[in-house]
Amino acid sequence: MLRTLRTILAASAVATVGLSPVASAADYPEKPIQVIVPFAAGGQGDVFARLVIKRIEEMNLLPHPMVVVNVPGGGATIGIRRAQKAKADGYTLIYIHQTLMTGQLTGKLKFDYTAFEPIAETNNTCLLTATADGSGIEDAKSWIAKAKADPKGVKEATLIGSAAFFTTAMMADAADMEIGFVNAGGGAKRIASILGNHTKTAVLVATPVAKNPKLHGIVYYGEERNPQLPDTPTAKELGYDVVSCLNNVWWAPKGVPENVTSTLASVFEKVMADKDLVQQIESRGQSAELVTGDALKTRLADIYARLSAVAPAK
């Protein structure tokens, strides 16, 4: 009888041990979730991450809060490395766009985007080539013609290795032209460069171009024209298969449990169905678009292939 009781207790203990991780996973999350934003507070990435998180909290979609942790530096690579080294338990996420890919393609990171599990894309904004009054460039046709007539002589303000840099590399490859890159820095510095006619063009997001009458879009890299700049044609309209956007994705370290990704994907699905959040995102110049699962993985693979095709030699 005693032996039988011990056997039952032992079996019960084994069953309990075997079930405990499942029970714990089912209760996810059991504590706050850190969301690494690898840029400084107040930047675009920080603003949109906090916007989505705030609405998740207001809608009471999670039992514990999401907490933004800003980890700027190294062109976002410091924050990316920190997220990649985090435990794959769903309590550390990272919110980032194509910089996750360009960091590896320029040799700044030793791992590629597949070191993470994509959970959801919630918002994006496509890029455009802009010029300014006094540049002598009227439209895409004249830009391309000048660049072909004077290889590397038509200067562009850029940030070497960034999504802006890769965008022009893709367009230059498609149009068979050579652009002279000037490493000006971030968006504000690129705008200052073309306004001062130090350079002829720069790749920017649409909002500052639409708001400044001295700036003009010449090529937009979305699938369709941007409503803020309805007169700016897409690259595809001009006959060039170039698409380049900043697709903001929520990622977890590779190996995160499936129930965690499904729980988080469900949360993002619910919050992105909220009309108030959509309006807030779009009023700030981005598109509110939810992409998850296989559709997201297909999109990311296409983006990576396009970037890889023009990646500089390491």
- Residue 8: its pLDDT value, please? 34
Number of domains observed in the structure of the chain: 2
Give the pLDDT confidence score for residue 7 in this predicted structure. 38
- Give the pLDDT of residue 191: 98
Same domain for 54 and 90, yes or no, is yes
The reply to whether 253 falls in a domain is yes
User: Domain boundary at 203, 220, 237, which?
Assistant: 220
Question: How far is the C-alpha of 290 from the C-alpha of 113, rounded, in Å?
Answer: 19
Asked if residue 120 and residue 256 are part of one domain, the reply reads yes
Of 185, 220, 255, the position where a domain reaches its end is 220
Domain holding 277, by residue range, is: 33-125+245-308
User: By three-state DSSP, how is residue 291 classified?
Assistant: strand
Mapping DSSP to helix (H, G, I), strand (E, B) and coil, where does residue 166 land?
Answer: helix
Please state, in angstroms and rounded to a whole number, the distance separating the CA atoms of residues 229 and 128. 10
Cα(245)–Cα(121) distance, rounded to whole angstroms?
Answer: 12
From first to last of its 314 residues, what are the pLDDT tens digits of the chain? Answer: 333 333 333 333 333 333 333 334 568 999 999 999 999 999 889 999 999 999 999 999 999 999 999 999 999 999 999 999 999 999 999 999 999 999 999 999 999 999 999 999 999 999 999 999 999 999 999 999 999 999 999 999 999 999 999 999 999 999 999 999 999 999 999 999 999 999 999 999 999 999 999 999 999 999 999 999 999 999 999 999 999 999 999 999 999 999 999 999 999 999 999 999 999 999 999 999 999 999 999 999 999 999 999 998 76
If asked whether residues 256 and 281 sit together in one domain, one would say yes
Query: Apex CA 150: angle with CA 159 and CA 171, to 5°?
Result: 45
Domain-located, residue 240 = no
- Residue 27: what pLDDT? 87
149 shares a domain with 104: no
Does 134 lie in the same domain as 96?
A: no
Asked if the structure places residue 205 within a domain, the reply is yes
Supply the pLDDT for residue 275.
98
Does residue 296 lie within any of the structural domains? yes
pLDDT at 1: 38
Backbone angles phi, psi at 309, to 5 degrees: -65, -25
